[in-house]
Amino acid sequence: MNKTLFKTIIAMIFCVVFSVPAHAADIGGTQITSNGACVMDHETGRVLYEYNGGSILIPASMTKIMTMYCIYESIDRGDISYDTIVPISANVSGLGAKDPGLTVIPLHPDTVYTVDELIDMVIVVSANDAALALAELTAGSEQSFVERMNSTAEELGLTAHFYDCYGLANNEITPVSMAELSRRIINDHPDILDRSSKTLVSFHGGNYKTTNHLLDTFYYSGADGLKTGTTTAAGCCFCATAVRDNVRMIAVTMGSAGNDQRFIDAARLLDYGFAAKKELFSKLYFTNIRTVIDGKQVPTLYHMGDKVPVIIAEDLEHYGYDVEYSGDTLTLTRRRGKKCSPISPIYYRNKDGEPAYDIIDGKTTRVILCDGSVRHEFETVYSLNGYTGITTDELSRIYEKEWIDSTSTVLINTNNKADELLRIYTPSFEEIDLSSAPPMTADGITMIPVRPAAEAVGDAVYWDDSLQAYIIDCGSCAAAVKPDSTAYLRRINGVTSADVLPDAPRVINGNLCVSPRTLARITGLGIVADEGTRTILLKDNGSVQFYCKKTAELFSAPLPDLSH
């Protein structure tokens, strides 16, 4: 053999063994062979990586994830139970003969099968006849069941369309929608993980191995699901899920280069997801989002995992607050009239996406904000190296917040709350808990959150889609009110009439709020207010005693009656 021919053969062998498939995609320093893929954080639904993630592809037997979602829904509704006997039709028993390439058990009309054992065969073994039998049980026919699959996909907001219930047809779905469907079935029907984590199931005298080889041959620590799929049109597909350190990832690969390669691709996707989430959740980043408190710009960071703007609590010392540490507790106290010295934007602007601070695992700092009578402890706190991060979202629990989309700006107004509106009491002198939604001042009018005030006296508050209005149900009477409108409907003893409110209700920080006069008009209660102590008492008709917080005395109340 001449040297030229020898070199040519060696080169050909080298290319076959070591070449990268034509549709390989880079991910975290390695590659996957998928035609389409993604990895999703289960907790948040955030897509951490995608390659053709929005492309319509064929899922093959991953279709059975939607099939099982619909079966679990039937169980939850009580239409069937795990013990229900599943009849085997001629369509089911003849499925293997119809297409010899299909995975079937097979099932026989003269044998008793339960829903419980057929679910195992669908999820673990990918038995097509088991999927068809369950579909016919719950919907009467495969066609009716497929219609239900498509309506469910629409309800879940998926980009998908199905033509059969087990995956032989060229069903359609995007990798991202497949991941979201898997996320929903794990959340809504966690029983699927108990099934999909099995490596072997026994069924009527036989033992059947899983098709998910991240559980055995290509063992991946923490893997416990979910579903493979293979057809000529789809190629080798796999939807995988694994959990490590209480973090779950969902990876989808569609059209991988081979049967084994799909498990390698899935493992690489999962590795990337775990590493990416650790990075996202371990740091605060600079951002182009602006936070403006009372007209003054505050340095803003961003937590990419939680998707929230964050400010440094200690920075508020420059914006009218006293900052005091006591052990592991940081107290922020609003000082009205304190001179502000805003931090120059030169220190934090034009660094979008750059890491700013590492979040210290295991360290816990309590942050308490005090403003007049309001005392709020933050639920989400980021402990940093020498500083403490708090979210702008939590500030909206005590202050009015507005998002300006065009400039990516969070506007916070600390002067909008009713500083001295200390308490609201029911006729039995029980204090209404307003900690979750304190009273506000809007355009000079004190606005009371309706829900806690109404529920404290036994009324119900809910949203009515058909009327596009809030309903305040007071038993013998009810009112329908719309935000920013003084017109409302009132029903008394079955008779409905239109009326006009003294002031328009408003939605503030997600809460329906009304003035005291409007609350009185809606509920039929009288409202007595002491302007000196800024205390309000709801009252029934007739004389009333009023609890004055400042003097702690009960007295008959010749006070302003705001019910008229």
d(CA 469, CA 512): 11
Strands (E), 374-415: 374-377, 381-383, 388-391, 400-404, 409-413
* Mean residue pLDDT across the chain: 84
Least confident of 75-89, 253-267, 335-349: 335-349
Is pLDDT above 50 for 562? no
Per-residue pLDDT at 414 exceeds 90: no
Stronger pLDDT, 524 or 219, i.e. the higher one? 219
pLDDT digits (tens, 9 = 90+) for 168-190: 999 999 999 999 999 999 999 99
Higher pLDDT, 342 or 454: 342
Which of 4-18, 206-220, 231-245 comes out lowest in average pLDDT? Answer: 4-18
Mean pLDDT for the stretch of residues 51-61: 97
Q: pLDDT (tens digit, 9 = 90+) per residue, 112-165?
A: 999 999 999 999 999 999 999 999 999 999 999 999 999 999 999 999 999 999
Banded pLDDT at 514 (limits 50, 70, 90): confident
Q: Structure tokens of 514?
A: 């009304």
pLDDT at position 394: 87
- Termini Cα distance of the chain: 109
Residue 449 has pLDDT above 90, yes or no: no
Residue 195 has pLDDT above 80, yes or no: yes
Specify the pLDDT at position 548.
34
Residue 6 CB neighbours (<10 A): 10
pLDDT at 170: 96
The answer, yes or no, to whether residue 12 has pLDDT greater than 70, is no
Q: How many CA atoms are closer than 13 Å to the CA of 456, on its beta-carbon side? A: 23
**Residue 375: CA atoms inside 13 Å, Cβ hemisphere, count?**
5
Rg (CA), the chain: 31
Peptide bond into 57 cis (omega under 30): no
What pLDDT shows up at residue 1?
42
Is the pLDDT score of 542 beyond 60?
A: no
pLDDT of 451: 81
Give SS3 for 108: coil
Quick check: 551 pLDDT over 80? no
When pLDDT is cut at 50, 70 and 90, the band that residue 459 belongs to is: confident
Cα 392–395–401 angle (5° rounding)?
A: 80
Is the CB of residue 175 less than 8 Å from the CB of residue 36? Answer: yes
Q: What are residue 468's phi and psi, to 5 degrees?
A: 55, 50
Say which range, 209-213, 486-490, 538-542, has the weakest mean pLDDT.
Answer: 538-542
Mean pLDDT across the stretch 348-377?
85
**pLDDT over 80 (residue 564):** no
Specify the pairing of strand 366-371 against strand 329-334.
parallel
Composition of the chain by helix, strand, coil, percent to 5: 25, 35, 40
DSSP 8-state class, residue 340: P
- Tell me phi and psi for residue 257, to 5 degrees: -70, -15
Distance from C-alpha of 271 to C-alpha of 562, rounded to nearest angstrom: 63
Q: Looking at residue 535, what is its pLDDT?
A: 63
Q: For a pLDDT cut of 90, what percent of the chain falls above it? A: 54
Distance, CA of 525 to CA of 544 (rounded, Å) = 12
In this predicted model, which residue has the larger pLDDT, 18 or 401? Answer: 401
Q: Report the alpha-carbon distance of residue 70 to residue 314 in Å, rounded.
A: 51
CB within 8 Å of 367: residues ≥ 6 apart: 313, 329, 330, 331, 332, 377, 378, 381, 388, 390
Q: What local confidence, expressed as pLDDT, does residue 174 receive? A: 98
Nearest residue to 92 (alpha-carbon basis) of 80, 79, 104: 104
- In order of start, what are the domains of the chain with their CATH numbers? 24-270 (3.40.710.10), 287-413 (no CATH), 423-462+501-556 (no CATH)
> Would you place residue 426 in the very low, low, confident or very high pLDDT band (cuts 50, 70, 90)?
low
Q: Lowest-pLDDT range, 20-24, 339-343, 454-458, 543-547?
A: 543-547
Residue 29 and residue 378: Cα distance in Å, rounded?
39
Q: What is residue 389's predicted lDDT score, i.e. its pLDDT?
A: 95
Share of the chain above pLDDT 70, in %: 82
Which of 25-29, 61-65, 534-538 has the lowest average pLDDT?
A: 534-538
The beta-strand segments (E) located in 177-315 are 200-203, 206-209, 223-231, 235-244, 247-256, 283-286, 290-293, 296-298, 301-303, 308-312
pLDDT at 553: 34
